[in-house]
């Protein structure tokens, strides 16, 4: 691969350095382009633009590959615990047993939120969307832990990883009008999420290992995904040297959109609509192909994966096994499988390389686990949290990192003089 790319602009030639990644991805470095040529590049939606060089996550969209710090996600989902994967993403290596036990102890010790923070929930209206609660409560953590110097960085990372699951569970209890359940130190990270979500003070709660295993796989599969919309948001906000809590709160808001993490909630709502409508899958596939319908097959398509999303493959299997072990028959799963089967035969989807993505099956598993639909994207956020933190840390640890400030091409009105009110007609 040549070390430089040649750009010819207005008869002038510009040699631009070419960089090649670990897996031979090729990037043309345009850092000096504007200074030398006065021109910028334009790439709305950043589909062809690399925002950074990163060591955390690798995706090959054509081959359906996803690796965290070099480890295939299939192996991590099968053999690792979520806390191991969180440690790997944030600190770069799989933890030794000693490191993992200390990490888990820290996460357990910091699980509770300040008692005064519980009062914040009184201010939210009943039915407040838990993503709004999660993003505002995470940002509010910075009022209790304002120190953002180098020494505080690791402590804030632990606090956030430990407390986000408690905040998420409290948001669910607020929606249900039930009392908050404190974390229990003897439980695992995933077991505590389940306990705080589902336990009630009036009876003993035992963590179902089926649900604990499913939660572990779901969180691992959502843990990172290179420069997706919400992770890019975390890096954008973090590049201004905003504190960790503010940066992650912004990422939570970006994830909420139905084109991104909000898709898992939208998938279930779509499947329920099809179910209510008699399960007429062909009708909805036809609508998805009709641009005037404004309808999209939620859970299908991906900016990067132009082949099967490897996470969807794993979740399809997890779906079958969790529903079987729980003895749940969900007609929505049958509808989902029929949708997938028809879409994967239909030229509209095949030509556009639209395959099921991570959100297509996850909602069916969450639903089988008893998690309310509005909490699905919150579960996605809990999974993505170590990835967001890892990217924020990578950016903040880089002495050469600068505030992100993209350019634009202006296409508005040319210069004109102010028009006094009386002359405006
Ligand atoms: C996530 O980036 C990440 O890594 C995200 C994520 C992560 O882990 O962080 O993987 C998580 O966000 C997964 C995606 C969840 N979103 C959805 O499932 C929503 C439905 N999917 C789409 O809206 C869409 O596929 C996107 C948003 C996922 C991707 O959008 P792109 O890359 O901008 O593609 P596009 O909208 O330009 O679509 C290309 C074509 C268009 O048709 P044409 O104009 O070429 O004729 O495909 C069509 C689109 O109309 N199309 C769909 C479709 N998705 C794209 N048509 C019907 N149903 C769909 N779902």
Burial of 128 (0-12, 13-18, 19+ CB in 10 A): middle
117: confidence class by pLDDT, cuts 50, 70, 90: very high
239 to 236, 242, 251, 298, 394: CA distances (angstroms) = 5, 7, 13, 32, 11
Cα 300 to averaged position of ligand 1 atoms, centre (Å) = 7
Same domain for 229 and 268: no
Q: What is the mean pLDDT of the chain?
A: 95
Express as a percent the part of the chain with pLDDT over 90: 93
312 and 194 together in one domain: no
Pocket test residue of 266, 302, 377 for ligand 1, highest count of atoms within 8 A of CB:
302
pLDDT of residue 292: 94
Distance CA 409, CA 41 (A): 9
Q: Say which DSSP state 72 is in.
A: E
* Mean pLDDT of the region 144-154: 90
- What CA–CA distance (Å, rounded) separates 196 from 184? 8
Q: Is 234 exposed, middle or buried (0-12, 13-18, 19+ CB in 10 A)?
A: buried
Q: Is the CB of 391 under 6 A from ligand 1?
A: no
Distance 82 CA to ligand 1 centre (A): 28
What average pLDDT does range 350-379 have in this prediction? Answer: 93
Residue 122 lies in a domain: yes
Look at residue 383 in the predicted model and tell me its pLDDT.
Answer: 98
Considering the domain architecture, whether residues 359 and 378 belong to the same structural domain is answered as no
267, 360 contact by CB (below 8 A):
yes
Tell whether 249 and 176 lie within a shared domain. Answer: yes
Q: How many angstroms is it from 305 CA to the middle of ligand 1?
A: 10
Q: Is the CB of 236 under 6 A from ligand 1?
A: no
Helix (H) / strand (E) containing 59 = strand 57-60
Question: Of 302, 320, 346, 417, which one is the catalytic site residue?
Answer: 302
Q: Residue with the nearest Cα to atom 54 of ligand 1?
A: 301
Tell me how far the alpha carbon of residue 253 lies from the centroid of ligand 1, in angstroms: 19
| pLDDT tier at 91, thresholds 50, 70, 90 | very high
Q: What is the pTM of this model?
A: 0.95
Give the residue, by CA position, lying nearest to ligand 1 atom 13.
Answer: 260
pLDDT at 87: 98
The tokens for 177 are 């009008």
88 and 205 fall within a common domain? yes
> Could you tell me if the CB of 174 is within 6 A of ligand 1?
no
Residue 307 lies in a domain: yes
Give me the pLDDT at residue 150, please: 84
Q: Is the pLDDT of residue 119 over 80?
A: yes
Nearest CA, atom 1, ligand 1: 260
Tell me, what's the pLDDT at 148? 83
Which atom of ligand 1 has the smallest separation from the CA of 302? 28
The range of the structural domain enclosing residue 33 comes to 4-60
Residues of 344-381 as b/e, b for ≥16 C-beta within 10 angstroms? eebeebeeeebbbbbbbbbbbbbbbbebebbbbbbbbb
Residue 258 CA neighbour count, 13 Å, CB half: 11
Render pLDDT for 318-360 as a digit per residue (tens, 0 to 9).
999 899 999 989 899 999 999 999 888 999 999 999 999 999 9
Within-domain flag for 49: yes
What separation in Å is there between the alpha carbon of 297 and the centre of ligand 1? 9
Same domain, 203 and 286: no
Please tell me whether residues 219 and 180 are part of one structural domain. yes
| Number of domains within the chain | 3
- Annotate 1-58 with DSSP letters as a single string: --SEEEEEETTEEEEEEEEE-TT--EEE--TTHHHHHS-----GGGTT------SSEE
Is residue 266's pLDDT more than 90? yes
Nearest CA to ligand 1 atom 52: 296
Judge if 253 and 312 occupy the same domain. no
Mean pLDDT of 71-84: 98
Q: In the block, which residue shows the tokens 């399809």?
A: 316
- Residue with CA nearest ligand 1 atom 9: 228
DSSP of 149-183, one letter per residue? SHHHHHHHHHHHHHHHHHHHHHHHHHHHT------
| Active-site residue, 302 included | yes
Q: How high is the pLDDT of residue 344? A: 86
The answer to whether residue 407 sits within a structural domain is no
Ligand 1 atom nearest the C-alpha of 288 is: 57
In a shared domain, residues 245 and 100: yes
Phi, psi (rounded to 5 degrees) for 26: -110, 130
Please give the pLDDT value at position 2: 82
Ligand 1 near 288 CB (within 6 A): yes
Q: Write the pLDDT tens digit of every residue in 5-25.
A: 999 999 999 999 999 999 999
Which residue in the block uniquely carries the two structure tokens 């900016």? 303
Nearby residues of 375 by Cβ (< 8 Å), 6 or more positions away: 130, 168, 171, 172, 175, 197, 366
What pLDDT shows up at residue 151? 83
Q: H/E element holding 217?
A: helix 209-221
Q: Give the neighbor-by-neighbor strand order of the sheet with 71-72.
A: 57-60, 65-68, 71-72
Residues 85 and 199 in one domain: yes
Residue 68 lies in a domain: no
pLDDT band at 194 (very low <50, low <70, confident <90, very high): very high
CATH number reported for the structural domain that contains residue 13 in this entry: 2.20.28
Tokens of 173: 């209890």
pLDDT at res. 107 = 97
Q: Confirm or reject: Cβ of 95 under 6 Å from ligand 1.
A: no
What span, in angstroms and rounded, lies between the C-alpha atoms of 215 and 322? 10
Q: Which atom of ligand 1 is nearest to the CA of 299?
A: 18
CATH code at position 186: 1.10.580.10
Kindly state whether residue 272 falls inside one of the protein's structural domains. Answer: yes
Together in a domain, 238 and 121: yes
Question: Per residue in 214-241, pLDDT tens?
Answer: 999 999 999 999 999 999 999 999 999 9
Joined together, the tokens standing for residue 352 give 């556009």
Which residue has the CA at smallest separation from atom 8 of ligand 1? 225
**Ligand 1 closest atom vs CA 226:** 4
The answer on 277 and 245 residing in a single domain is no
Q: Region 17-38: what's the mean pLDDT?
A: 96
Q: Region 85-109: what's the mean pLDDT? A: 98
Does residue 1 surpass a pLDDT of 80?
Answer: no
The answer to whether 303 and 47 have CB atoms below 8 angstroms apart is yes
Q: Is 391 a catalytic residue?
A: no
Question: Ligand 1: does its nearest atom lie under 6 Å from the Cβ of 343?
Answer: no
Q: Flag the least confident range among 54-68, 321-335, 410-424.
A: 321-335
Give residue-wise pLDDT tens across range 282-329. 999 999 999 999 999 999 999 999 888 999 999 999 999 899 999 989
Span from the CA of 390 to the centroid of ligand 1 (angstroms): 25
Residue 130 inside a domain? The answer is: yes
Report residue 370 as tokens: 């008893």
- For ligand 1, whether the C-beta of 255 sits within 6 Å is no
């Amino acid at each position: 691969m040549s070390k430089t790319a040649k750009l010819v602009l207005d008869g002038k030639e510009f040699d631009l350095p070419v960089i090649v990644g670990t897996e031979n991805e090729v990037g043309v470095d345009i850092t000096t382009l504007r200074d030398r040529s006065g021109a910028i590049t334009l790439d709305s939606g950043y589909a062809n633009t690399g925002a950074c060089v990163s060591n955390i996550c690798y995706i090959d969209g054509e081959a359906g590959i996803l690796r965290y710090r070099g480890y295939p996600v299939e192996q991590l989902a099968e053999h690792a615990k979520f806390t191991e994967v969180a440690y790997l993403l944030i600190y770069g290596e799989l933890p030794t047993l000693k490191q993992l036990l200390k990490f888990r102890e820290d996460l357990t010790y910091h699980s509770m939120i300040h008692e005064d923070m519980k009062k914040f929930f009184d201010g939210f209206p009943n039915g407040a969307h838990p993503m709004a609660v999660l993003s505002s409560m995470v940002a509010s953590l910075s009022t209790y832990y304002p120190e953002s110097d180098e020494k505080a960085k690791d402590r804030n990372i632990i606090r956030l990883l430990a407390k986000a699951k408690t905040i998420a569970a409290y948001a669910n209890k607020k929606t249900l009008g039930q009392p908050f359940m404190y974390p229990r130190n003897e439980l695992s990270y995933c077991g505590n999420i389940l306990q705080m979500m589902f336990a009630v003070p009036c009876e003993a709660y035992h963590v179902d290992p089926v649900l604990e295993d499913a939660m572990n796989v779901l969180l691992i599969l959502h843990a990172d995904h290179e420069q997706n919309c919400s992770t890019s948001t975390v890096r954008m906000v973090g590049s201004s040297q905003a504190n960790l809590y503010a940066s992650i709160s912004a990422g939570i808001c970006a994830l909420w959109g139905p084109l991104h993490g909000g898709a898992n909630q939208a998938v279930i709502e779509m499947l329920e609509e099809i179910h209510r409508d008699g399960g007429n899958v062909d009708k909805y596939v036809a609508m998805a192909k009709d641009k005037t319908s404004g309808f999209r097959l939620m859970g299908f398509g991906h900016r990067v994966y132009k082949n099967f999303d490897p996470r969807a493959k794993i979740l399809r299997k997890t779906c079958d096994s969790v529903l079987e072990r729980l003895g749940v028959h969900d007609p929505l799963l049958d509808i989902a499988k029929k949708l997938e089967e028809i879409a994967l035969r239909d030229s509209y989807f095949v030509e556009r390389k639209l395959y099921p993505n991570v959100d297509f099956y996850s909602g069916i598993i969450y639903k089988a686990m008893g998690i309310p639909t509005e909490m699905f994207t919150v579960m996605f956020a809990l999974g993505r949290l170590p990835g967001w933190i890892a990217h924020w840390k990578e950016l903040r640890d880089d002495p050469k990192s600068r505030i992100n400030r993209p350019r634009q091409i202006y296409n508005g009105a040319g210069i004109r003089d102010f028009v006094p009110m009386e002359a405006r007609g």
